[in-house]
Structure 1
Amino acid sequence: MNSFFSYESKFSQVLMKIVDIICSSLLWVICSIPLITIGASTKALFHVTRVGLNGEDGYIFKKFWDGFIDNIKGSLIMWMIQGALLLVLSYDAFVLSHLAKNSIVFAFLYYVNYFFILYVIVWAIYACAYNNRFKQSTKVILKNSALLAIGYLPYSFMIIVVFLAAVLLLYYARITILILPAINTLFADSLMEKIFRKHMSKEDLEKIQQKEEEKKFKR
């Protein structure tokens, strides 16, 4: 019985993982309340996913804060740009929804507009993950993440489908806000890590593999 509840038992490890997921999701919600900080809090959630939820040591609160304040200026600028685009496209969708009733052309533009809304959402997710993984200028991060979102459409499609499924689930079950942000980020991070590694140098890949081997050895 004691071994079942011990720190190193499978049960305790799973329980702590669930607690970490809930804490990470709540931190994201709290830090996203000002709206302008959504980009920084999402980037922080990716940071927690990479160095916390995936098995590395460290307190979730500290990891989240480290990710939040790291390049916070760049995170704010990127989200202001992408958030402004989403507002404009959302307004266009509202206008086109009325015009589409009497015109096939506007009906077509209505759906095209929604395609761009989904693309900006995916672009924002890529940008947050990219900002967490690489130390580059805001301009480069925006450009490269936009290109990756287009260049890896199958991955982007899976990311947006899971994102929309999470939004739908949240709409019907608000309590899922306790886990959905972290779980959604875990899924997106696992896909984008595959993309990022395709563009990393041989030296960087060797460092990552060395860290992964050390992690397996500790387990």
Structure 2
Amino acid sequence: MFSGLFSMDGPIYKFGGLVFDLFILNLLWVIFSLPFFTIGASTTALFYAVGKRVREEDGYLFRDFWTSFKMNFKQGTIVWLILAVLYWILYTNIMNIRILGNLAPFMYPLQLVMLIELTIVMIYIFPLLSRFHMKIKDLFKTAFFMANRHFITTILCIAAFAGMVFLTIQVHGIFILFFVSGYAWWVSFMLQKVFKKYVLEGEEGAKLSVDEESETPVWKKYKREPDSDSIESSTVDMDAYQTWDMIQAQRAEAQEDEESNSTN
């Protein structure tokens, strides 16, 4: 009865393996984030490594983390610095908003909304960067779009962060050993369902597509996953990035062809 429970494929062994993986990944994140400006790259690497475990793909913790860290170092650092500057600006505005006098009551809600939007964008942007190839401006646009469209998922991610804070402060400090990686696991688990709605798989990879109802551009260009046997094969295919204007042009050409065919 209990033989399967304690086997190598049993739930107890898998749970223990997950806890160990999250501890190691949390430690790696802390070490690689120490210079501060590398937080973006290390967070992207964390989501990449955690995401592979959520999808139950084979891999090695350090190699997965290190490969993604190198691959996304430039973009991850730029994204993180942009977010840090925006947070600093909002913080400065909120701290000095009293000097506006009568305008202060109107500016507080505006700054609060901007702070919330920036926070939910940050929830999505690093998981996106860990899996997809996009320009930085498109990363922000896509993160903003998904965070607001899938608002229930966004709320659950925020609630999970509050839960991790509560467990660490009120229950036991040991949860700090799994704080970042545990939260990344939950976010990756939730966003896995979201990303599946936007990924088009095919022989030529995923491409930019458009939501038929809202005509909202949705980026579906895969970032090629690193090969498990070679770090050097982790280069990203930078070709054939389609823009919204190109999609619109293709639609116009298709409509013209249909009209000409119907006329003939």
Is this a same-fold pair by TM over 0.5? yes
- Quick one: which amino acid aligns to residue 199 of structure 2? M
CA distance in 2, matches of 1:198, 1:3: 35
Corresponding residue of 1:217 = none
Change (3 A) 1:19 1:54: farther
Per-residue deviation, 1:53: 5.1
Aligned 8 A contact 1:40 1:75 in 2:
yes
Matched, 1:86 2:87: yes
Change (3 A) 1:31 1:108: farther
Percent identity between matched residues is: 26
Structure ranking higher on relative contact order (CA contacts 8 Å, 6+ apart): 1
Change (3 A) 1:136 1:93: same
CA distance in 2, matches of 1:30, 1:153: 33
Corresponding residue of 2:144 = 146
Q: Deviations over 1:146-199 (max 9, x none)?
A: 222222222222222322343454455543221121221122112222222111
Question: What is the TM-score normalised by the length of structure 1?
Answer: 0.78
Aligned 8 A contact 2:33 2:42 in 1:
yes
Change (3 A) 1:199 1:107: same
The number of aligned residues is: 202
Aligned 8 A contact 1:17 1:53 in 2:
no
More helix by share: 1
Aligned 8 A contact 2:23 2:178 in 1:
yes
Per-residue deviation, 1:9: 4.9
Per-residue deviation, 1:134: 0.9
What is the CA RMSD across the aligned residues, in angstroms? 2.8
Question: What is the TM-score normalised by the length of structure 2?
Answer: 0.66
Per-residue deviation, 1:59: 2.2
CA distance in 2, matches of 1:163, 1:195: 19
CA distance in 1, matches of 2:24, 2:54: 11
| Secondary structure at the counterpart of residue 191 of structure 1 | helix
Corresponding residue of 1:190 = 189
Change (3 A) 1:6 1:148: closer
Aligned 8 A contact 1:99 1:107 in 2:
no
User: Unpaired segments of 5 or more residues in structure 2?
Assistant: 207-264
| Secondary structure at the counterpart of residue 179 of structure 1 | helix
Q: Deviations over 1:94-141 (max 9, x none)?
A: 223x569x75x5244324323322321221221111111112222322
Query: What does 1:60-79 align with in structure 2 at a 5 Å threshold?
Result: 60-79=61-80
Q: Deviations over 1:61-85 (max 9, x none)?
A: 2211122112210111111111110
- Quick one: which amino acid aligns to residue 186 of structure 2? F
User: Unpaired segments of 5 or more residues in structure 1?
Assistant: 206-219
CA distance in 2, matches of 1:151, 1:3: 42
| Secondary structure at the counterpart of residue 87 of structure 1 | helix
Per-residue deviation, 1:56: 2.5
The structure with the largest alpha-carbon Rg is 2
Query: What does 1:159-170 align with in structure 2 at a 5 Å threshold?
Result: 159-170=157-168
CA distance in 2, matches of 1:171, 1:107: 33
